[in-house]
Structure 1
């Protein structure tokens, strides 16, 4: 294990311990928020949908409270499997700090590059600050809740590193910056979120940042829409646009082409402490598979809130 990986695990362990302490001591959020209005844990660790952050903060912490969440997510497509887990702490529905680790199992799909069984991993440190508005519509304001956030990512590419960070020109680390606006209209039970992300990440950072086409930051939109079927169940869909820095590379035109992500999900909160999310996902092309095809499949995530 390299020192950088060790530091990532140490930070994750520390935040996990803090989250566990909140649960053990009772110094945690009360019942101030409605079910599901804190969103779920995204694959990057921030509160929101499964694929994209929202302007909300995780847990049910409100004024004067501290809350925490922990999550585990698995995504299985035709050729790949992604596992991600992490924790987050939020203060007074104002600030959120999160940590997550992702592990993409490429199986034998990089065998043409001499890399069978490769795992691509990354550590993600996130921070989010609510700056204005209220996510839940009331008589006082129609203004959505607005938050700014960042996600600093460190890629661990294993045996692919010499190629990825050499001829392909990607960087080992990068920082996404985003602004999100979220509003829940209670009468129809509709939640809408829009996120604008400045990013250089390739495949969310699992293939590094920037690269062959030498592009800097690009602004990419992300959209979520959800319908509350009841106080405990929501269904919805998400779209996340992504850059395409490695499309033209030494591996050939289109070899590492990147597509937008899309999902259709259902989220269920049997209690305020537990939520489960299942989804159909379309991640487009990810990397040179044995038989290149769009990567569609299943998404399942569990979250505990304190």
Structure 2
């Protein structure tokens, strides 16, 4: 069996510089500043698979950790997403300041399983590094909870893909191995009702979030894709909710006909935060059909994530 990994992989498949960069972000955000209590529990969201604070699949306008005005904060997360045919492992860190600025880094390892073997690439792993930045433009989700004004933020995610033995095929399909997403998020917290609503618009060229490159024969320009999150705070420690993330379809049609068609993503989740330091997320996810030319079944499964906040 051939195992394809990043040429510069370190522990757990991440490049060796990843741990150093994540440590810098963690050290940049110590625990809440002296004399301040920080944000309310769960109002900083969780770490998404791309590293930014929000839901599991989509970013929100909030910044991670419980740091508020004039405070530094940091988070670290590890995530495992298992569907019928694929496994995604993601981990990363983020630092924030003043509930205004957030910097994040994440690494993703996508195991293709039997699909990779069917393509003649047994043991194929698609690996991706994601560098993110987010800036709050207006509003405050908590302080404006009694008004219609949402918290609004703009973010950017630069992604670099190592597709291993699949790289030549993606290049032949017209997909690049690097791309940058830009998104605008609006988060509205109805504190009295314990309800949070987030709407994001993402300008993207990413195929399967970048794991199959960026752009393709059907579309090389950026497309605006909506992303929606809804959360209900059952109490100060537990929240349930749902997410929907629209996806572009840049590789459809291709030399494989509609065999690379891309479906939207969705999930149902529950988050438990026993303390300000720790939160655990469990979700049921539906990623649609991924490479239906090889595997036509919908990729449904579980999402488990743990986050530490400082």
* Structure 1 residue 139, shift from structure 2 partner: 7.2
Aligned to 1:279: 283
* Structure 1 residue 186, shift from structure 2 partner: 1.1
In the alignment, the residues of structure 2 paired with residue 291 and residue 207 of structure 1 have an alpha-carbon distance, to the nearest angstrom, of 16
* Structure 1 residue 13, shift from structure 2 partner: 2.4
Aligned to 1:270: 274
RMSD between superposed Cα atoms in Å = 2.1
Question: 1:237-248 counterparts in 2 under 5 A?
Answer: 237-248=242-253
In the alignment, the residues of structure 1 paired with residue 101 and residue 212 of structure 2 have an alpha-carbon distance, to the nearest angstrom, of 29
Aligned to 2:214: 209
| Contact 1:71–1:86, Cα closer than 8 Å, also in 2 | yes
Aligned to 2:3: none
* Structure 1 residue 170, shift from structure 2 partner: 0.1
Q: Any gaps of 5 or more consecutive residues in structure 2?
A: 1-5
Aligned to 1:192: 197
TM-score of the superposition, structure 2-length normalised?
A: 0.92
* Structure 1 residue 248, shift from structure 2 partner: 1.1
**Most deviating of 109-118 and 46-55:** 109-118
* 1:187 alignment partner, SS class: helix
* Structure 1 residue 2, shift from structure 2 partner: 4.2
User: How has the CA–CA distance of structure 1 residues 27 and 140 changed in structure 2, closer, same or farther, with 3 Å as cutoff?
Assistant: closer
Residue 170 of structure 1 pairs with residue 183 of structure 2: no
TM-score of the superposition, structure 1-length normalised?
A: 0.93
Q: Any gaps of 5 or more consecutive residues in structure 1?
A: none
Residue 300 of structure 1 pairs with residue 304 of structure 2: yes
* 1:82 alignment partner, SS class: strand
In the alignment, the residues of structure 2 paired with residue 139 and residue 207 of structure 1 have an alpha-carbon distance, to the nearest angstrom, of 39
Residue 155 of structure 1 pairs with residue 164 of structure 2: no
User: How has the CA–CA distance of structure 1 residues 286 and 139 changed in structure 2, closer, same or farther, with 3 Å as cutoff?
Assistant: closer
Residue 220 of structure 1 pairs with residue 232 of structure 2: no
| Contact 1:32–1:60, Cα closer than 8 Å, also in 2 | yes
Number of residues paired by the alignment? Answer: 302
* Structure 1 residue 138, shift from structure 2 partner: 4.2
In the alignment, the residues of structure 2 paired with residue 160 and residue 9 of structure 1 have an alpha-carbon distance, to the nearest angstrom, of 19
Aligned to 1:115: 121
User: How has the CA–CA distance of structure 1 residues 112 and 45 changed in structure 2, closer, same or farther, with 3 Å as cutoff?
Assistant: same
